[in-house]
Amino acid sequence: MKIFPAIDIKDKKCVRLIKGDFENKTEYETSPIDQAKKYQDHGFKDLHIVDLDGALTGRTVNLDIIQEVVSKHDLKIEIGGGVRTLDSIKKYVDMGVDKVILGSAAIKNKEFLKEACEKFKNKIALGLDAKDGNLYVSGWKENLNIKTLDFLKDIKDYGVSRLIYTDIDRDGTKESPNFEETVKVADVSSCPVIISGGVSSINDIKKAKELSKKNIEGIIVGKAIYDGDIKLDELAKEIDA
């Protein structure tokens, strides 16, 4: 069971959003570089990064910060946010990230997703963000009226190496993840699934670990770390435990 502490980058700072709302964000003093070091020092092996500037602009805005994190720290990094071209994927893969997360662009254009998976084997993770079972894109503002489970059936042979499933209504709320819906997604998914959104306490981590036999690969922890609801020492004890 992999534990992915999270870093969301906006204006060179670590931030957290509530339900993806850029107007409802909290900025933290620690720089992304220092935060990554803190995670490594506590024994974490995996790291989830979102370039929020990239998500807003559709470009790899914080490439320099990601490069520094990759070069300075021995962490398996998955990175997303504004990755909309094969060239952007190549930049990240070339610098040594473990997985590149595709979102809106890949969901709206399945051919792009398919081509990316073929060109960058075992490097493509797919971020699916849903509300009431429907997929949302473009910073969660656009409801595609496509059921998550139907979409997964359509792309099951593409070669996606990891799925990150976020329940929009839980993200940043610390109300616990939607485990029930995530298990349904994992049942249909042809690749391992990461739980995302709403982690509130160490009990959520323990519950996620109980699901590891159900095609659940790991869990992302963000706001609960920054707000002190989960201590890093406590969370680190759950790594490979």
Residue at 154 is within a domain: no
- Does residue 48 carry a pLDDT above 60? yes
Coil, helix or strand for 4? strand
Sign of the CA dihedral with 15 first, then 21, 22, and 25 last:
negative
Number of domains within the chain: 1
Q: Decide if 172 contacts 222 (C-beta within 8 A).
A: yes
* Bridge partners for 47 per DSSP: 77
Residue 155 lies in a domain: no
Radius of gyration of the chain (CA): 16
Any idea which residues carry the catalytic annotation?
8, 129
Domain interval for residue 207? 2-102+166-236
Determine contact, residues 199/176, Cβ cutoff 8 Å: yes
Question: Does residue 152 form part of some domain?
Answer: no
Domain contains 16: yes
In a domain, 54, yes or no: yes
Mean pLDDT computed over 38-65: 93
- Would you say residue 48 lies in a domain? yes
CB 130 within 8 A of CB 167: yes
In a domain, 232, yes or no: yes
Confidence of residue 241 (pLDDT cuts 50, 70, 90): low
The CATH number covering residue 29 comes to 3.20.20.70
CA dihedral of 169, 239, 98, 57, whole degrees rounded to 10: 30
- The answer to whether residue 132 sits within a structural domain is no
Is residue 19 over pLDDT 80?
no
